[in-house]
């Protein structure tokens, strides 16, 4: 423990605050929160996070106090360092469950006990914040265990709703269905989330995932979208069909459009037109899609029925435009080529070519390999969207070669899956799904 904390301090003192925080995140469960708090206070002050700095200093000055542990954990969650929050909130939960100590006596009379630290805090409040922190780390199995342990103390909303959500994200479909079926009707802000998990359960019943490596199956259950390709690298070494890093090329872009055509054919859908988004990559892909599908293309207009909206990467699109895609018009479909699985876009696409953590588009600067196989920096491609669309159309529709260990995924398998996805495209708002779910994949820190 001392070694990891010392390493984090050394990184901080050398000017590498990000490296120090990465070390704390990875080692947080093995380090006492009060010992970590002084460094967190320094990092928070440097980042301008006054609330976290104050909570960290308070915990360092008063270790073992449930209220201070909770305030520190809460501030960590608010500032996006859930992994650091988890051990503090676990300790706060332990303290609020502990029986009160016997009061001290003086002479013949019992001394009136002072309010015990954390006694007023409340188990449910700490529990829900701990669940939030665990969800932020995608530790859904742990979140589910904590919720089940304290089920007798829970309310339906949001407490047991969180049980349903974390059961789904852990792959526990029968448990999620059982708890969901016993919930009372949601009210106010919980109506939407309740309907969302209900739709997940409907998709899971209609098209159950095979196992916890069925990436396409679970992607459909959680997002309502159809994933058309799997990464051909490292399937059995922890990637399970996702990309960690990809230098994309025109051939894969064209292949993605062909797989989109496969889905449209399997589901008997013919878009009336293609909606073009403003960024150069999306416009290029949209123009190419319109040509392949034989339909007109025009700038995207919200609410237009029967339109296929095409994005290269929704995270690179205008956020205001993306927000308008949360609820689709009649017959409107959203296609995204490169969907980020570690930082999902604000809305979920109906069709995605690939799930990647870091993807460099063919027209962006990135790595390429010379004739001797040595890596070199590629120059950006400055051609217009129209010229890039021509390059996509001229490319052979070829998926990247891999290591031969990813399960075969020919067109007929995708066709069969799309045909069985009776509820596609998904109904209702297409909110961001912030977790990768039961199918785990390795990622960059």
Contact 345, 339 (CB under 8 A): yes
What percentage of the chain has pLDDT greater than the value 90? 89
Question: What does the pLDDT average to over 138-162?
Answer: 97
Are the beta carbons of 253 and 337 closer than 8 angstroms? yes
Specify the DSSP class assigned to residue 120: T
Over residues 106-141, the pLDDT tens digits come to: 544 444 444 444 445 799 999 999 999 999 999 999
pLDDT score recorded for residue 423: 85
* pTM score of the predicted model: 0.91
Cα 184 to Cα 242: distance, rounded to the nearest angstrom: 37
The DSSP result for 305-362, as a single string, is TTEEEEES-GGGS-HHHHHTTSSPPTT-EEEEEEEESSS--SB--SEEEEEEEEEE-T
pLDDT per residue as tens digits for the range 73-92: 999 999 999 999 999 999 99
pLDDT at residue number 109: 45
Q: What is the per-residue pLDDT for 119?
A: 46
Give the tens place of pLDDT for each residue, 350-388. Answer: 999 999 999 999 999 876 655 666 667 778 999 999 999
Contact predicate 87/28, CB 8 Å: yes
Pairing of strands 109-110, 105-106: antiparallel
- Looking at residue 370, what is its pLDDT? 59
With 0-12 / 13-18 / 19 or more C-beta atoms within 10 angstroms meaning exposed / middle / buried, residue 209 is buried
The pLDDT of 396-411, averaged and rounded, is 94
Q: Which pLDDT value is given to residue 216?
A: 98
Per cent of the chain over pLDDT 70 is 92
Residue-level length of the chain: 445
Q: Are 382 and 281 in contact (CB under 8 A)?
A: no
Question: Has residue 399 got a pLDDT over 80?
Answer: yes
* DSSP 8-state assignment for residue 104: P
Q: Which of 184, 239, 187 is nearest to 215 (CA)?
A: 239
* Alpha-carbon distance values, 226 to 134, 330, 346, 424 (Å): 28, 18, 17, 8
Per-residue pLDDT, 394: 98
* Residue 106 to residue 33: CA distance in whole angstroms: 35
Report residue 392 as tokens. Answer: 């996509």
Distance from C-alpha of 347 to C-alpha of 336, rounded to nearest angstrom: 11
Q: What is the pLDDT of residue 378?
A: 76
Stretch among 60-69, 201-210, 360-369, 382-391 having the lowest mean pLDDT: 360-369
Q: How far is CA 200 from the centre of its chain?
A: 16
Beta bridge partners of 243: 356
More confident residue, 422 or 239: 239
**Residue 1: is its pLDDT beyond 80?**
no
Q: Among 100-104, 135-139, 439-443, name the one with the lowest average pLDDT.
A: 100-104
pLDDT digit string, tens, across residues 263-298:
999 999 999 999 999 999 999 999 999 999 999 999
| Mean pLDDT within 97-111 | 59
Alpha carbon separation from 240 to 151, 167, 212 (Å, rounded) = 33, 21, 9
Question: What's the mean pLDDT in 158-167?
Answer: 98
Distance separating alpha carbons of residues 45 and 40, to the nearest angstrom: 8
Name the band, by pLDDT with cuts 50, 70 and 90, for residue 422. Answer: confident
Residue 227 has pLDDT above 60, yes or no: yes
Lowest mean pLDDT among 135-139, 352-356, 411-415, 431-435: 431-435
The tokens describing 199, both together, are: 């739709």
Task: Mean pLDDT check: name the lowest of 128-132, 153-157, 419-423.
Answer: 419-423
Spell out the alpha helix ranges (H) of 325-437. Answer: 385-394, 411-420
The label of the residue with tokens 């789904």 reads 168
- How many Cα neighbours within 13 Å face the side chain of 101? 12
- Mean pLDDT of all residues in the chain? 93
What pLDDT is recorded for position 366?
Answer: 73
Distances (CA, A) of 170 to 158, 237, 386, 421: 18, 20, 44, 22
- The pLDDT, as a whole number, for residue 76 is 98
pLDDT band of residue 392 (cuts 50, 70, 90) is very high
Distance CA 137, CA 82 (A): 6
């Amino acid at each position: 423990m001392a070694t990891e904390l010392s390493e984090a301090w050394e990184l901080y003192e050398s000017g590498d605050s990000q490296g120090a925080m990465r070390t704390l995140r990875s080692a947080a469960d093995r380090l006492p929160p009060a010992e970590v708090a002084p460094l967190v206070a320094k990092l928070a002050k440097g980042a301008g996070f006054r609330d976290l700095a104050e909570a960290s200093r308070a915990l360092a000055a008063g270790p073992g106090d449930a209220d201070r542990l909770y305030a520190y954990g809460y501030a960590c969650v608010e500032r996006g360092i859930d992994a650091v929050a988890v051990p503090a909130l676990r300790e706060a939960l332990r303290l609020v469950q502990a029986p009160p100590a016997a009061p001290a006596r003086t002479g013949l009379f019992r001394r009136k006990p002072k309010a015990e630290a954390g006694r007023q805090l409340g188990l449910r409040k700490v529990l829900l914040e701990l669940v939030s922190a665990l969800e932020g780390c995608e530790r859904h199995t742990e979140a589910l265990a904590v919720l089940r342990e304290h089920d007798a103390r829970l309310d339906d909303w949001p407490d047991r709703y969180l049980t349903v959500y974390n059961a789904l994200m852990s792959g526990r479909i029968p448990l999620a269905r059982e708890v969901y079926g016993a919930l009372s009707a949601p009210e106010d802000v919980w109506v939407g989330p309740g309907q969302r998990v209900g739709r997940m359960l409907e998709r899971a019943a209609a098209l159950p995932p095979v196992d916890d490596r069925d990436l396409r199956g679970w992607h459909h259950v959680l997002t309502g979208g159809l994933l058309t390709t799997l990464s051909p690298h490292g399937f059995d070494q922890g990637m399970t069909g996702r990309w960690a890093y990809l230098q994309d090329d025109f051939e894969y872009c064209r292949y993605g459009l062909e797989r989109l055509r496969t889905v449209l054919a399997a589901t008997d859908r013919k878009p009336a037109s293609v909606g073009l988004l403003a960024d150069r990559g999306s416009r290029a892909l949209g123009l190419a899609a319109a040509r392949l599908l034989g339909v007109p293309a025009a700038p995207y207009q919200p609410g237009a029925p029967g339109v296929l909206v095409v994005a290269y990467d929704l995270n690179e699109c205008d956020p205001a435009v993306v927000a308008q895609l949360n609820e689709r018009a009649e017959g409107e479909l959203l296609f995204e080529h490169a969907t980020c699985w570690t930082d999902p876009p604000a809305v979920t696409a109906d069709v995605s070519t690939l799930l990647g953590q870091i993807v460099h588009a063919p027209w962006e600067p990135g790595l390429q390999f010379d004739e001797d196989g040595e890596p070199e920096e590629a120059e950006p491609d400055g051609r217009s969207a129209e010229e890039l669309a021509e390059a996509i159309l001229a490319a052979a529709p070829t998926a990247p070669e891999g290591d031969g260990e990813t399960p075969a995924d020919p067109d007929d398998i995708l066709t069969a899956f799309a045909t069985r996805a009776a509820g596609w495209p998904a109904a209702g708002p297409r909110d961001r799904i912030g977790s990768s779910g039961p199918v785990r994949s390795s990622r960059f820190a």
